[in-house]
Chains A and B, each alone.
Chain A
Amino acid sequence: MAPAIGNSAVSSNRASAPDQVSSPPDQPLVVIEPSRYWVPLDLRGLWAYRELLYFLTWRDVKVRYKQTLLGAAWAIIQPLLTMIICSLLFARMPGIKSEDMPYPIFAYAGLLPWTFFANAVTASGNSLVGSSSLITKIYFPRIIIPSAAVAAGLVDFALSFLVLIPLMFYYRVQLTPNLLFLPLMIMLVTGLALAIGMWMSALNVKYRDIRYALPFVIQLWFFASPIIYSASVLRGKLKIVLMLNPLTGIIENFRSALVGREMKWTSLAFSAAMTLALLVWSAYAFRRMEKTFADLV
């Protein structure tokens, strides 16, 4: 045929041929059916997509501080400034106890896990709505989206940790074996952020009220957690609220592990149990709501 209309111009850099496919298996690989009320978690399917979790986290981290002047310094500025302001305001105020440690250390050790928690829950809670183009066009386990938002927060968390080191030197804080509990505390706060963030993100798809309610709830949560004050200052009903807050045990023990004070086992056990329960419950709730995401988002 005439070269003018043949394919010769195209074939030069065509992609190489994919490998020949083997014959299909006897059992279906995937069965698609309307699901029942309780959907299994499908952890195996999640494992198969672990690289996607990595790439989405990496994207979030990479993109977060693009076109900002200060870049990743923002991760440090936020808790550092809050700590300085709180130190100026509260350090000498009667009634604010910092459990016989220097107030800046006390506050920063509380603000670290809190800032991570608050940012992770916010990012995660808005993550599904912000990924509508992905959700309506491509299949993958949806849980990866809020999880990646939490995981990306861990990078900022690690950065803000760097400030703590000179601070601890300056105030001559002794390191103790309690430090070994720190990874457990980080796991717990990550787990709790994931539980809340995942649940909020799914609700946000259906009820956009979440977007407006979430910042407010987080603000209240800040005051209901022993971050800038010590749990020991509260009495009565307020104390009960504080104790029911799963963050209380995590923040108190995070601080104890870091500064080498006595671990508070009761509150730790309560927080750990609560975090685990919330995580399981929230994962099932997410799976149940997941099937309507593409239709609603």
Chain B
Amino acid sequence: MKPVIKVKGVGKQYRIGGPQLPYQTLRENLSNTLRAPLKKFRRNGQGTFWALRDIDFEVQAGEVVGIIGRNGAGKSTLLKILSRITEPTTGRVELYGRVGSLLEVGTGFHPELTGRENIFLNGAILGMKRSEIERKFDEIVAFAEVDKFIDTPVKRYSSGMFLRLAFAVAAHLDPEILVVDEVLAVGDAGFQRKCLDQMKEVSQHGRTVLFVSHNMPAISRLCPRTVLLNEGTMLEDGPSNQVISSYLQSGLGTTAERKWSDMRKAPGNHIARLVAVRVRTEENETSEAIDIRRPVGIEMEFQVLEPGHVLVPNHKFVNEEGVTIFCATDLDSAWRNRPRPAGRYTSTAWIPGNFLAEGSIIVEAALSTFDPEMIHFDERDAVAFQVVDSRDGDSARGDYAGPMPGVVRPVLDWTTDFAPNEQGDSWPVQ
């Protein structure tokens, strides 16, 4: 085995304000030059930060490596460097093969062009030769299931059709190294599974895949090895199950907790404002990873500013495919139909174990009054957590390890009646 990707000491520095203020005007630049003519030569001071620092790793031919980390950990920057979209500030990368990168499906699609035209255009943008596209054209159309609409402008496509076509083109790219960012977070469950299968297929043919995702089940299914990034540095590199579980246990994914320290900017109105939302375990630990067998508590802390209102905390639970799993309203009898005095409240809703299916759950947190109807705050992506199955055999999976569709996964009571065959049974087998 030979390495196909060698990354040595790679770092990427951004100027603070750079990403937020994406461009300068000539006047600013001129006046800055006049004001501080030497500033250009002191770049390494304040006002910069390292999005990536001292990244070293090698990937062997045919390996499938997952890259995980919370938002801002440097995953996307790393992929952008590997796919030559942006340049590293330090270090060196050697690539021993053609790289195809899929940082977003549908890049370069033009809404006015037909499906057929877009396949050629997008294929060329992704680096395919015209002859190659012609050869794979029928396969792409079949994979995307858009045969009837192939000569319709894609602006008339449904979003599902658009995504299927976009992924289909990308899936037929066959470079030696494939770099993929979160593209599977799109489409319906069936299509996602198809995409995962296609990627698995790609990797089984000796191609090297780097796969960034927040979807831990997908990472663990696809990638034997995973790299964990945190604040621009490599924290861990090893077998996926180990890296994923240490990532989930470390609480690095702070999406399990959100606080609004500035009361004036917190969601809410003059009656009540949101203070914090937390995902916690029975042991009262904030956690992003929840064992599928254990209950999980959603804690909502809010400040009531104006007394005398009946207030009902409520949540909506949405999975990574955007499907609403269920909604829940606070039924705590202590405060049901009772006007609340001003003060700090913490409501916790408990979801039983063995109920949610594996995957990401996004929690919407809201506070309402039903009569007269009024919403005081409604925070969509307030917090999120992962439901993880450790596959010890006592979850609803039993001994099955493959993909399991469905938004809930309860453990049911199964009973079996059995009657052993006896001689002279009324149902003879010849």
Cα of A49 to Cα of B27 in the assembled complex, Å:
36
Q: Mark A6-26, 1 if CB is under 8 A from B, else 0.
A: 110111011111111101110
Q: How many A-B residue pairs have CB under 8 A?
A: 187
Partner of B26, one of A10, A31, A207: A207
Are B143 and A14 in contact, CB atoms less than 8 angstroms apart?
yes
Are A5 and B22 in contact, CB atoms less than 8 angstroms apart?
no
B405 at the interface (CB under 8 A from A): yes
| Interface residues in chain B, defined as those with a beta carbon under 8 Å from any beta carbon in chain A | 2-4, 6, 14, 18-19, 22-27, 29, 61-62, 80-99, 101, 103-104, 107-108, 110, 112-113, 117, 120-121, 124-127, 129-130, 136, 139-140, 142-143, 145, 168, 171-172, 174, 176, 190, 193-194, 197-198, 201-202, 204-207, 400, 402-405
Cα of A54 to Cα of B130 in the assembled complex, Å:
10
Cα of A25 to Cα of B204 in the assembled complex, Å:
20
Query: What residue in chain B is nearest A62 (Cβ atoms)?
Result: B113
A55 at the interface (CB under 8 A from B): yes
Are B96 and A24 in contact, CB atoms less than 8 angstroms apart?
yes
Q: How many chain-A residues does the 8 Å CB contact rule pick out? A: 58
Residues of A within 8 A of B168 (CB): 15
16 contacts between A and B (CB under 8 A): A1-B402, A17-B201, A17-B204, A18-B201, A21-B205, A21-B207, A25-B97, A29-B95, A31-B95, A51-B129, A52-B125, A138-B107, A138-B126, A206-B24, A207-B25, A208-B23
Residues of A within 8 A of B113 (CB): 59, 62-63
Are B201 and A14 in contact, CB atoms less than 8 angstroms apart?
yes
Residues of A within 8 A of B90 (CB): 34
Contacts A51-B129, A136-B103, A139-B83 supplied; 14 other A-B pairs, CB < 8 Å? A1-B402, A5-B404, A5-B405, A11-B197, A14-B198, A20-B205, A24-B61, A30-B95, A55-B120, A56-B121, A134-B108, A138-B126, A207-B24, A207-B29
A209 at the interface (CB under 8 A from B): yes
Residues of A within 8 A of B91 (CB): 33-34
Partner of A34, one of B18, B87, B201: B87
Given contacts A63-B110, A138-B107, contact A205 B96 (CB under 8 A): no
Residues of A within 8 A of B174 (CB): 18-19
Are B84 and A32 in contact, CB atoms less than 8 angstroms apart?
yes
Cα of A5 to Cα of B358 in the assembled complex, Å:
14
Residues of B within 8 A of A135 (CB): 85
Residues of A within 8 A of B4 (CB): 24
Given contacts A206-B23, A296-B23, contact A18 B202 (CB under 8 A): yes
Partner of A62, one of B62, B101, B117, B205: B117
Cα of A139 to Cα of B95 in the assembled complex, Å:
14
Query: What residue in chain A is nearest B153 (Cβ atoms)?
Result: A66
Cα of A11 to Cα of B61 in the assembled complex, Å:
26
A28 at the interface (CB under 8 A from B): yes
Are A20 and B206 in contact, CB atoms less than 8 angstroms apart?
yes
Are B202 and A138 in contact, CB atoms less than 8 angstroms apart?
no
Least CB distance from B247 to A in Å reads: 26
Are A59 and B61 in contact, CB atoms less than 8 angstroms apart?
no
Residues of A within 8 A of B126 (CB): 138
Least CB distance from B134 to A in Å reads: 12
Least CB distance from A89 to B in Å reads: 36
Most buried by B among A67, A139, A206: A139
Query: What residue in chain B is nearest A295 (Cβ atoms)?
Result: B86
Cα of A5 to Cα of B3 in the assembled complex, Å:
37
Residues of A within 8 A of B145 (CB): 13
Cα of A294 to Cα of B140 in the assembled complex, Å:
29
Partner of B82, one of A19, A32, A140, A209: A32
Partner of A28, one of B96, B125, B404: B96
Cα of A206 to Cα of B25 in the assembled complex, Å:
7
Are A137 and B104 in contact, CB atoms less than 8 angstroms apart?
yes
Residues of B within 8 A of A136 (CB): 80, 85, 103
Partner of B85, one of A11, A29, A137: A137
Cα of A55 to Cα of B130 in the assembled complex, Å:
10
Are B172 and A15 in contact, CB atoms less than 8 angstroms apart?
yes
Least CB distance from A132 to B in Å reads: 9
A297 at the interface (CB under 8 A from B): yes
A35 at the interface (CB under 8 A from B): yes
Are B205 and A295 in contact, CB atoms less than 8 angstroms apart?
no
A264 at the interface (CB under 8 A from B): no
A133 at the interface (CB under 8 A from B): yes
Partner of B190, one of A6, A10, A54, A134: A10
Are B85 and A23 in contact, CB atoms less than 8 angstroms apart?
no
Are B104 and A295 in contact, CB atoms less than 8 angstroms apart?
no
Residues of B within 8 A of A207 (CB): 23-26, 29
Partner of A138, one of B88, B96, B101: B101
Are A15 and B143 in contact, CB atoms less than 8 angstroms apart?
yes
Q: Mark A46-75, 1 if CB is under 8 A from B, else 0.
A: 000101101110110011001100000000
Are B94 and A208 in contact, CB atoms less than 8 angstroms apart?
no
Least CB distance from A205 to B in Å reads: 7
Residues of B within 8 A of A294 (CB): 80, 85-86
A291 at the interface (CB under 8 A from B): yes
Least CB distance from A163 to B in Å reads: 27
Query: What residue in chain A is nearest B397 (Cβ atoms)?
Result: A5
Cα of A55 to Cα of B128 in the assembled complex, Å:
12
Residues of B within 8 A of A133 (CB): 104, 107-108
Are B201 and A30 in contact, CB atoms less than 8 angstroms apart?
no
Residues of B within 8 A of A34 (CB): 87-91
Residues of A within 8 A of B194 (CB): 10, 14
Are A25 and B22 in contact, CB atoms less than 8 angstroms apart?
no
Are B206 and A7 in contact, CB atoms less than 8 angstroms apart?
no
